[in-house]
Amino acid sequence: MSSSFTLAFNSDQLAENEIKLVKLNSISMVIIRRNNEIFALNSRCPHMGCSFANGTLKDYILTCPCHGWSFDIRNGEYQANKNIKLETFETKVENGQILVKAVSEYW
């Protein structure tokens, strides 16, 4: 396991289309399994800071529960303005464990 990745949890603890809130290396993020791929994004909407923990997922679009802002989980792009992005984090699965490169570009 690379030292640049942090263990989030066991892979079997994340169901398909589930949104799981975690804190890794002081970074709050949501981890999502979609089509058996793992995605990790900043847990707070840039609009007003609402948590995506109770957001909705349709296809690859994660929608904020507070005001409906929608983001592509593959690249973090806000659907109404591609210049606004959620921070995304590299993920991988090794030995049945979900690992996240939990280093923020913004800190």
Closest CA to 7 of 53, 34, 40, 48: 40
**What phi-psi label fits residue 59: left (phi over 0), alpha (psi between -120 and 50 degrees) or beta?**
left
The answer, yes or no, to whether residue 106 has pLDDT greater than 60, is no
Which pLDDT belongs to residue 102?
84
pLDDT in tens, 76-95: 999 999 999 999 999 999 99
In degrees, rounded to 5, the angle at the alpha carbon of residue 4 between the alpha carbons of residues 63 and 86 is: 20
Query: What's the whole-model pTM score?
Result: 0.91
